[in-house]
Amino acid sequence: MERISLYDYIEHKTGESVEKIKSEDAERFQVIVTEALRDLVVMNRVAGTGYLVQIPGEILANKECARLATEIHHEIC
């Protein structure tokens, strides 16, 4: 099973560093994190990617992210 870091995926998708996004706009960061995790869940369902997503523990404070995490193989990092 291939591992993929949620933050690496976000940086690839946005072209910005996670730290930059967080420091500039915390609300935007929450939206981006939720969308990215949703992307990975959908990719797994539709394409059967089978990713093991590395999710920073702080992300699970977001209720939608916590729910999405139950829908994909993940590990807390």
Distances (CA, A) of 50 to 43, 73, 74: 9, 8, 10
Domain boundaries, the chain: 3-76
What's the pTM?
Answer: 0.92
Tokens coding 37: 């995790």
Q: By the 8 A CB rule, do 56 and 74 touch? A: no
Q: What angle do CA 66, 32, 58 make, to 5 degrees?
A: 40
pLDDT tens digits, the chain, 77 residues: what are they?
799 999 999 999 999 999 999 999 999 999 999 999 999 999 999 988 888 999 999 999 999 999 999 999 999 99
> Which letter does DSSP use for residue 70 in this model?
T
